[in-house]
Amino acid sequence: MENRKINIADKLGCFQKEWAPHIIAALNGQYVKLAKLKGELTWHSHADEDELFFVLEGFLTIQLRERDVHLEKGEMFVVPRGVEHNPMAPQGASVLLFEPQSTKHTGEVITQRTVT
């Protein structure tokens, strides 16, 4: 997939399912993914992977145990490895994710929304 340019709007138009990240690029052992979010995912952490969230549309709140991080379009946040977090988007959001290929969707927590 690295040989062609990637149009984000086109890629977002290719799927509707929420909480199901789509891989759009792979480089240096990392994935770039797009995801549509609505509601909340679940509390989880990734023991060995930092995870970047970049908001493309809408509003995303990343709940951390000690505070909430509120992100709007054009804002990003890195959840460091080992830090519990719960992504929430009550009104819906589209996000770009940048994370290692080894990253599990909801860490060691399995819910109905977990994609394996």
| Interface residues toward a copy of itself, by CB under 8 A | 2-9, 25, 27-30, 32, 49-52, 69-71, 74-78, 80, 98-100
- Nearer to a copy of itself among residue 70 and residue 111 (C-beta): 70
- Phi, psi angle pair for 50, to nearest 5°: -80, 150
What are residue 23's DSSP bridge partners? Answer: 33
Q: Supply the DSSP symbol for 48.
A: S
- Nearer to a copy of itself among residue 2 and residue 108 (C-beta): 2
Which residues make Cβ contacts (< 8 Å) with residue 16, sequence separation at least 6?
36
Smallest distance from a copy of itself to CB 16, Å = 19
- Nearer to a copy of itself among residue 37 and residue 49 (C-beta): 49
Sequence length of the chain is 116
Smallest distance from a copy of itself to CB 84, Å = 15
What are residue 95's DSSP bridge partners? Answer: 35, 55
Smallest distance from a copy of itself to CB 114, Å = 21
